[in-house]
Amino acid sequence: MKFSFLSRLALVAPAFAIFAAGPGPDVPLGLLPIRFPKENPYTPEKSELGRLLYYDKRLGADGTVSCATCHAPENAFTDNKPVSSGIKGQKGGRSAPTIFNRAYSLAQFWDGRAATLEEQAGGPMQNPIEMGNTHELVVKTLKSIPGYRARFKQVFGTEEFGIDEVTKAIATYERTVLSGNSPYDRYKAGNKTAMTASQIRGFDVYFNKAKCDQCHEGINLTANSYHNIGVGTDKPNPDEGRSAVTKNPADWGAFKTPTLREIARTAPYMHDGSIATLEEVVDYYDKGGVANKNLDEKIKPLKLSATEKKDLVEFMKALNGEGWQAKLVAPKVFPK
């Protein structure tokens, strides 16, 4: 039985936050109004503060890394690398996911270890491989900048802010990075010329033969669930994925299903960035993944023809949309 995104949100929201409909930015065709947390309502001023913080390398320990280093707008809010490089060139073990439509996500990171976007925003700051800082030093640095003290007072009513206010601002900005109004959205809305003939055939493969929507469904083309699809399980030291968080052996090798919005722009693919192209992704699923002790039962050979594979890739290109392009320009001036 499938549940809509809002149905699942209603089921799990008490574990994360109380959401309020409240005012917010306009959303592109195909998306739902953003439901901002009640304890972190939207204001344009807060979003702008979050934008400044997102791009400001002073949040990193040595002034070389910001949120935008690994989630860069010119790279579709990722870095187009198999794994990201943080402070002093250190490399992590997982690919940087895009921040598109994180407003609709129920948990963050590939393993879902952060229950909210606010919690996620604070993680990289104190990760020794990523930004290499501490929350205490981040706040101390920001409080030493008069321009930031003034902005925090405007947004939160006090210059005596802490890491909670910092992450609330960043999360507010990230919730405004949206992708919708894609050819797929326009096609679903009744414009039958919005997609090409190949993309329409790929639509049929996606939903009917390959049944990709078992995991990639709803407005954001993800069920926000975790699955072991075999990627990396044949390596000498496999990433245990979700089980590191839940301590449940059944979650070994399982990772969060990512959105397919803008998927043609966010290569390479999978949690470890091990698959370079969409064609290779389709081939991987077509063969039935990599057998392992916990392979998801949904992962089975698809037996697609060459034409069906091509059409499926073309359909995924129809998921490139609009709404985020206005976010491409980084701030030219930061608070002093």
The pTM (predicted TM-score) of the whole model is: 0.92
Q: Decide if pLDDT at 238 tops 60.
A: yes
- Give the β-pairing of 19-20 and 255-256: unpaired
Active site includes 130? yes
Asked if 94 contacts 239 with a C-beta cutoff of 8 angstroms, the reply is yes
What's the pLDDT at 22?
Answer: 57
Beta bridge pairs of residue 73: none
Instruction: Output the CA torsion sign for 231, 263, 107, 217.
Output: negative
pLDDT digits (tens, 9 = 90+) for 2-29: 434 443 443 333 333 444 545 788 999 9
Rounded to 10 degrees, what is the CA torsion of 2, 40, 147, 61? -50
**Calpha distance 284→295 (Å, rounded):** 14
Neighbouring CB atoms inside 10 A of 252's CB total 19
pLDDT digits (tens, 9 = 90+) for 48-59: 999 999 999 999
Cis? peptide before 37, omega within 30° of 0: no
Going by pLDDT thresholds of 50, 70 and 90, the confidence category of residue 64 is very high
What CATH homologous superfamily does 22-178 map to? Answer: Cytochrome c-like domain (1.10.760.10)
User: Could you please report the per-residue DSSP string of 131-189?
Assistant: T---HHHHHHHHHT-HHHHHHHHHHHS-S---HHHHHHHHHHHHTT---B--HHHHHHT
- Lowest mean pLDDT, pick from 5-9, 41-45, 191-195, 239-243: 5-9
Kindly state the average pLDDT of the residues 166-177. 97
Classify domain 183-317 at the CATH topology level: Cytochrome Bc1 Complex; Chain D, domain 2 (1.10.760)
Q: Which of 118, 130, 165, 314 is catalytic?
A: 130
Give ∠ CA 173-174-177 in degrees, rounded to 5: 100
User: For the chain, where do the domains classified as CATH 1.10.760.10 start and end?
Assistant: 22-178, 183-317
Distances (CA, A) of 237 to 234, 240, 271, 292: 8, 9, 15, 13
Element holding 36 (H helix, E strand): strand 36-37
What's the pLDDT at 280?
Answer: 98
Asked if 212 contacts 25 with a C-beta cutoff of 8 angstroms, the reply is no
Kindly state the average pLDDT of the residues 253-280. 98
Kindly state the average pLDDT of the residues 311-333. 94
**Calpha distance 96→103 (Å, rounded):** 17
Kindly state the average pLDDT of the residues 204-209. 98
Measure CA of the first residue to CA of the last residue in the chain; give whole Å: 54
Neighbouring CB atoms inside 10 A of 57's CB total 15
Task: Specify the DSSP class assigned to residue 319.
Answer: T
Q: Where are the alpha helices (DSSP H) in 17-158?
A: 44-55, 67-70, 117-122, 135-143, 146-156
pLDDT digits (tens, 9 = 90+) for 116-148: 999 999 999 999 999 999 999 999 999 999 999
Q: Which residues contact 84 (CB under 8 A, 6 or more apart)?
A: 69, 70, 91, 92, 95, 96, 130
**Calpha distance 254→292 (Å, rounded):** 11
Kindly state the average pLDDT of the residues 157-186. 97
Asked if 253 contacts 238 with a C-beta cutoff of 8 angstroms, the reply is yes
